[in-house]
Structure 1
Amino acid sequence: MIYFLLLFVLVIVFLFKGSFFSRGLPKGKLLPPGSMGWPYFGETLKLYSQNPNSFFSTRQQRYGDIFKTHILGCPCVMLSRPEAAKMVLVTLAHLFKPTYPPSKENMIGQNALFFHQGPYHSHLKRMVQSSFLPSALKDSIPRIDNLVVDMLPTFLNKTINTLCEMKKYAFDVAIISAFGTSMEVEIEEIKQLYRVLEKGYNSMPFNVPGTPFHKAMNARKLLNVKLRKLIEKERNSKKPAGTGGLLEVLLGSEKERDNQLSDSQIADNIIGVIFAAHDTTASVLTWVLKYLHDNNDVLEAVTREQDGVRCRISEANRNLTWDDTRLMPLTSRVFQETLRTASILSFTFREAVEDVEFEGHFIPKGWKVLPLFRSIHHSAALFPHPSKFDPSRFEVAPRADSYMPFGKGVHSCPGSELAKLETLILLHHLTTTYRWKVIGGDRGTQYGPFPVPKGGLPIVLSPI
């Protein structure tokens, strides 16, 4: 009975969906062309179950560089030209606030940095950025280096799922960034709860017992309790300054009478940073290993560069330092080209804060606006032979506004240097000490939601 009732409701919504999305449209105003897909689901399943290149290109061919759709419960406008993306992210940024679907906002926390504009955002951005400056990252290198040195030998003599292992690595680095040298019992509990939370990030927002979303929301409530306890413990601790990561920085706001952050604001931003530093970075690291495996000439060149770094380190009888990572230009270009080719983040979410006229189209207040980084990065006009993995293309700086793997403008990702750093450290040890072989050949790509090699890129690691 419930099944047929649900089916009836969906049919009714489907019959009236055209009037639903155009309700209140001012006379003479036209929405961008496009399809809103199925009721409620929109085109979410299509986007997250197929090659995003195909999803975007077919709609561009049919509707042009600006088109509407409906994903994750939200009406959206997608933009596939760099000039349009710059207008939304930089020039007219005050008209398009950063946002995510409500389900993600609730899971991450509505006080998180990337959901805001204005003075609160500016204050938070300065604080978060201070945690990712070279002076702060330098202190993280020994701990990240130890993570890699301890991790890689455990991969020997067995087939590993690269994506799963890179998630563990990226998560541990995110925890270091968030909590510094804190090794409290609470950190392990926070890790366990966060793993439940992340499983609900890209699920349909059905808050029904047993669903990933419901479990994630319960985990989020418990996370808030655990983080508040940890915040209070950190507030009363006597640890040396500079050892508490982002948490210490956010607590420092208590010294500023007009800019103090509440415990909820601190907790939401800790979760936000872990979210931003985890899945996407793990996907990038997986693709780096895939591209190097498939391009032996590039792998050999990177190995020569890293062997040179290792020789300098051995001669000085020391460990890897920040200065060493600045002497890896080719490896850095491999990182850049991986970000372009894989385009882990196909787009970013913005929301119109008022009715906007944009290049002859009407965008209603509250609609999401999505600059399509993937379409820009795979434009043959901007990057010749875009499907080819070619780090040498970054020997010359790319055209302005054509390369945006970390976004653009005041809301660009502050953790770009951290992602690069953990990639360089991993590749330093991996290329100078080991070789890896992909098992099962090229199985293609899976999407859910980030594009990753199918099966998580199973590999076997062996010492050189």
Structure 2
Amino acid sequence: MLISVNDETWWRDKWTRQDLECGDCRPGSAAIYGSAVLYSTTLPLLVFHLRAATSTVAMSLNSTFAEPLAGYLAQAQNYLPPTPRLLVIGLLYTPIAFVVLNVLYQLLPSSGSKPQVVFHWIPWFGSAAAYGQDPVSFFKECREKYGNVFTFILLGKRVTVALGPQGNNFVLGGKHTVLAAEDVYGPLTTPVFGKDVVYDCPNELLMEQKKFVKYSLTMERFRSYVGMVEDEIVEYFRTDPQFRIYQMNDINEWGAFKPNKVLAEITILTASRTLQGKEVRDNMDKGFAELFHDLDNGFTPLHWMFQNLPLPSYRKRDAAHAKMSTFYEQILRNRRATGEDPDDVMSSLAKQHYRSGRALKDHEIAHIMIALLMAGQHTSSASGTWAILRLAANPDVAEQLYQEQVKLLATPDGRFRDMTYDDLRSLPILDAVIRETLRIHTPIHSIMRLAHSDIPVPQSLAAPSENSVYVVPKGDIVLASPGLSQMEPSVWKDADTWDPSRWYDQDGFAAHAQKTYDEDTKVDFGFGLVSKGTDSPYLPFGAGRHRCIGEQFAYLQIGVLISTFVRHLELRLEGEFPKPDYSSMMVSPFPCEVAYRRRKLE
């Protein structure tokens, strides 16, 4: 019978440190057995164990893979000449040999300074299946076996994970010259956003580009955005076929909509109306939506691992980027020709200069506009979808939200006055719903950096012994998972329960975590002062120099979205609450339906 992954403990217990007290005996080639023999004069036990392990693993794999093939090989001997016969046998047994060698390699003692590697059967492929199917469960299981710091193999890449609030601080608070984001994310984002922006430029230029974009993220702008977002949502209710019952002005019949689709479309419409300007929003026809869809399909784990494959999604991604870039550049040329200078972010970017004195080139402006449109789309869409699903599954909370708005916004004639930005800041239940949704449904499960040098791990985070430290080797991808910290039972009471009321207590743990996140040491990374925030167990928008600059806009966008849905619709969930879908770079729910009923007549 094949040894299971869980039998790794049996192997490690059998080969104790006393048996293998030889330092780093790991060979540099695949000839593991031969390397062991070289040590046989001083370490006979190692040879004995290697022989026993080789025999046991080979027998196990032989019974699993080879025995079912024996009949086929016997028949092949009757039809094939000797040379092809050997070739067939070699092709069948070579993968088994690689698996055996990979297992034996992992059983050899490694350097005590490197974090433990998660046991895996298949070389190169490593733990890709377990991580890809459910990264959160994978992290939890590995932490139980290896502690807060461990390494796993992901399609040939070494990924060292640092968990918990201290792990977040270690990864997200590191110097960018030591832990770089662009080396990890550049291959994914550059084909989508374009050259010379975001992760395809030096970090100091990225910080300046963030500063340029903040033109759209001022308090004055936010005050004007609230009405725009609400108008887009209401217009969507009035025109989209999924809201046919709403459009019939029927307050008794229930309809249904697909929240993943609806929230994705509403998010892009509201973001373009506010952050991109009227000219861009007016051109968002079906053709533009198709371009966006093709670009969006370039944001997948496949496109991150393999940057250029001869597949339709890659060709469509590149074609969509070229057309969208041309779209923005044409607007710039038209404005120069006509002298038109509207008050929007594109005109602002056209007037900006880097510290060197160089003005932004047209293609840089176009690519920043694409990045501005795409960057917050996934996170806001996913967060909005989870929020609507939670309210549909908890109608009592939805009713509390509705009554909160009635109290603040209702007029004597039974209608609602227009919401303002200040109103959003005066709705504590709404604020709690948003924060709790971001806590339990963080849209990004893994934040990665590339180690540019060997990095010692603080002993308080993890260590092989009291007198030594782990060292993350140069070239490793280093990973933090703030979402796991936000659902840590040892930190959060009833961590797996969606409970907005935990945020009501201004002296409670949740409020303290939020305060630490917002009021930590202020640092100017090049785009204005921002709270570093890496020490908090609550990091919904990242931390450090790569903390999301659109954080306040996201609160506005999601807040107006939830408020508008609750004012216009009663919601209820059809079926079981959906599980997270980890097949894309952002964690969204699996497709489902939400039932709705119009609240009142107009």
Band the TM-score falls in, shorter-chain normalisation: 0.7 to 0.9
Q: CA deviation at 1:413?
A: 0.5
- Is 1:194 the counterpart of 2:330? The answer is no
Partner secondary structure for residue 352 of structure 2? helix
Q: CA deviation at 1:166?
A: 0.3
Among residues 450, 454, 459, which one is paired with 2:590 in the alignment? 454
**Letter matched to residue 200 of structure 1:** G
Q: CA deviation at 1:208?
A: 3.9
Report the Cα distance in structure 2 between the residues aligned to 1:237 and 1:216, rounded to whole angstroms: 32
**Structure label with greater radius of gyration:** 2
Report the Cα distance in structure 2 between the residues aligned to 1:461 and 1:14, rounded to whole angstroms: 53
Q: CA deviation at 1:398?
A: 3.4
Match of 1:384 in 2: 493
**Letter matched to residue 425 of structure 2:** R
Report the Cα distance in structure 2 between the residues aligned to 1:7 and 1:235, rounded to whole angstroms: 66
Which deviates more, 153-162 or 115-124? 115-124
Among residues 272, 276, 279, which one is paired with 1:179 in the alignment? 276
Partner secondary structure for residue 456 of structure 2? strand
Partner secondary structure for residue 349 of structure 1? strand
Match of 1:58 in 2: 141
Match of 1:48 in 2: 132
**Do the aligned partners of 1:79 and 1:85 also contact (CA within 8 Å) in 2?**
yes
Partner secondary structure for residue 145 of structure 1? helix
Match of 2:180 in 1: 97
Report the Cα distance in structure 1 between the residues aligned to 2:164 and 2:367, rounded to whole angstroms: 33
Report the Cα distance in structure 1 between the residues aligned to 2:356 and 2:569, rounded to whole angstroms: 53
Partner secondary structure for residue 253 of structure 1? coil
Among residues 208, 223, 227, which one is paired with 1:123 in the alignment? 208
Q: CA deviation at 1:404?
A: 0.4
- For 1:63-462, list aligned pairs within 5 A: 63-71=146-154, 74-99=157-182, 100-108=184-192, 109-113=194-198, 118-153=203-238, 154=240, 155-157=243-245, 158-183=255-280, 187-188=284-285, 189-205=287-303, 207-236=308-337, 238-239=339-340, 241-242=342-343, 244-245=344-345, 247-254=346-353, 258-311=357-410, 319-359=418-458, 360-395=469-504, 396=506, 397-399=511-513, 400=516, 401-449=536-584, 450-455=586-591, 457-462=592-597
**Letter matched to residue 179 of structure 2:** F
**Letter matched to residue 223 of structure 1:** M
**Do the aligned partners of 2:273 and 2:281 also contact (CA within 8 Å) in 1?**
no
Partner secondary structure for residue 350 of structure 1? strand
Which deviates more, 415-424 or 184-193? 184-193
**Do the aligned partners of 1:41 and 1:72 also contact (CA within 8 Å) in 2?**
yes
**Letter matched to residue 451 of structure 1:** V
Report the Cα distance in structure 2 between the residues aligned to 1:380 and 1:102, rounded to whole angstroms: 35
Q: CA deviation at 1:234?
A: 4.5
**Do the aligned partners of 1:34 and 1:69 also contact (CA within 8 Å) in 2?**
yes
Match of 2:5 in 1: none
**Letter matched to residue 375 of structure 2:** A
**Do the aligned partners of 2:579 and 2:589 also contact (CA within 8 Å) in 1?**
yes
Which deviates more, 193-202 or 233-242? 233-242
Q: CA deviation at 1:336?
A: 0.5
> Which digits, 9 at most, give the CA deviation of each residue in 1:296-341, with x for residues without a partner?
3322221111112321697999532212222222101110000001
After superposition, the Cα gap between the structure-2 partners of 1:145 and 1:12, relative to the gap in structure 1 and judged at 3 Å, is farther
Q: What residue ranges of structure 2 are gaps of 5+ in the alignment?
A: 1-88, 246-254, 459-468, 517-535
After superposition, the Cα gap between the structure-2 partners of 1:326 and 1:102, relative to the gap in structure 1 and judged at 3 Å, is closer
**Letter matched to residue 390 of structure 1:** D
After superposition, the Cα gap between the structure-2 partners of 1:13 and 1:278, relative to the gap in structure 1 and judged at 3 Å, is farther
After superposition, the Cα gap between the structure-2 partners of 1:202 and 1:28, relative to the gap in structure 1 and judged at 3 Å, is same
Report the Cα distance in structure 1 between the residues aligned to 2:275 and 2:95, rounded to whole angstroms: 43
**Letter matched to residue 398 of structure 1:** H
After superposition, the Cα gap between the structure-2 partners of 1:238 and 1:165, relative to the gap in structure 1 and judged at 3 Å, is farther
Partner secondary structure for residue 577 of structure 2? coil
Which deviates more, 329-338 or 443-452? 443-452
Report the Cα distance in structure 1 between the residues aligned to 2:361 and 2:475, rounded to whole angstroms: 27
**Letter matched to residue 319 of structure 2:** N
Report the Cα distance in structure 1 between the residues aligned to 2:473 and 2:331, rounded to whole angstroms: 42
Instruction: Tell me how large the CA RMSD over aligned residues is.
Output: 3.5
Q: CA deviation at 1:185?
A: 7.2
After superposition, the Cα gap between the structure-2 partners of 1:35 and 1:152, relative to the gap in structure 1 and judged at 3 Å, is farther
**Letter matched to residue 161 of structure 1:** K
**Do the aligned partners of 2:582 and 2:588 also contact (CA within 8 Å) in 1?**
yes
Identity of aligned residues (%): 20
> Which digits, 9 at most, give the CA deviation of each residue in 1:194-243, with x for residues without a partner?
2101112115245444442343233233333333323433555544553x
Match of 2:62 in 1: none
> Which digits, 9 at most, give the CA deviation of each residue in 1:81-133, with x for residues without a partner?
21221132225444212234454133233533356664313312222233222
Which deviates more, 209-218 or 58-67? 209-218
Report the Cα distance in structure 1 between the residues aligned to 2:267 and 2:538, rounded to whole angstroms: 23
Which deviates more, 8-17 or 338-347? 8-17
Partner secondary structure for residue 405 of structure 2? helix
**Do the aligned partners of 2:102 and 2:121 also contact (CA within 8 Å) in 1?**
no
**Do the aligned partners of 1:107 and 1:201 also contact (CA within 8 Å) in 2?**
no
After superposition, the Cα gap between the structure-2 partners of 1:72 and 1:409, relative to the gap in structure 1 and judged at 3 Å, is farther
**Letter matched to residue 290 of structure 2:** Q
**Do the aligned partners of 2:226 and 2:421 also contact (CA within 8 Å) in 1?**
yes
After superposition, the Cα gap between the structure-2 partners of 1:256 and 1:9, relative to the gap in structure 1 and judged at 3 Å, is farther
* Structure 1 moving runs of 4+ over 6 Å: 4-21, 313-317
TM-score, scaled to structure 2: 0.67
Report the Cα distance in structure 2 between the residues aligned to 1:267 and 1:169, rounded to whole angstroms: 23
Match of 2:530 in 1: none
Q: CA deviation at 1:63?
A: 1.5
Report the Cα distance in structure 2 between the residues aligned to 1:184 and 1:444, rounded to whole angstroms: 33
**Do the aligned partners of 1:287 and 1:342 also contact (CA within 8 Å) in 2?**
yes
Report the Cα distance in structure 2 between the residues aligned to 1:8 and 1:230, rounded to whole angstroms: 61
**Letter matched to residue 389 of structure 1:** W
Report the Cα distance in structure 1 between the residues aligned to 2:150 and 2:390, rounded to whole angstroms: 32
> Which digits, 9 at most, give the CA deviation of each residue in 1:386-440, with x for residues without a partner?
1111112223323331100100122100111122112221222221221122223
**Do the aligned partners of 2:186 and 2:199 also contact (CA within 8 Å) in 1?**
no
Report the Cα distance in structure 2 between the residues aligned to 1:16 and 1:268, rounded to whole angstroms: 47
Give the paired residue count.
453
Report the Cα distance in structure 1 between the residues aligned to 2:315 and 2:100, rounded to whole angstroms: 30
Q: Using CA pairs below 8 Å that are at least 6 residues apart, which structure has the higher relative contact order?
A: 1
**Do the aligned partners of 1:98 and 1:116 also contact (CA within 8 Å) in 2?**
no
Report the Cα distance in structure 2 between the residues aligned to 1:204 and 1:9, rounded to whole angstroms: 27
Q: What residue ranges of structure 1 are gaps of 5+ in the alignment?
A: none
**Do the aligned partners of 1:306 and 1:431 also contact (CA within 8 Å) in 2?**
no
Which deviates more, 438-447 or 233-242? 233-242
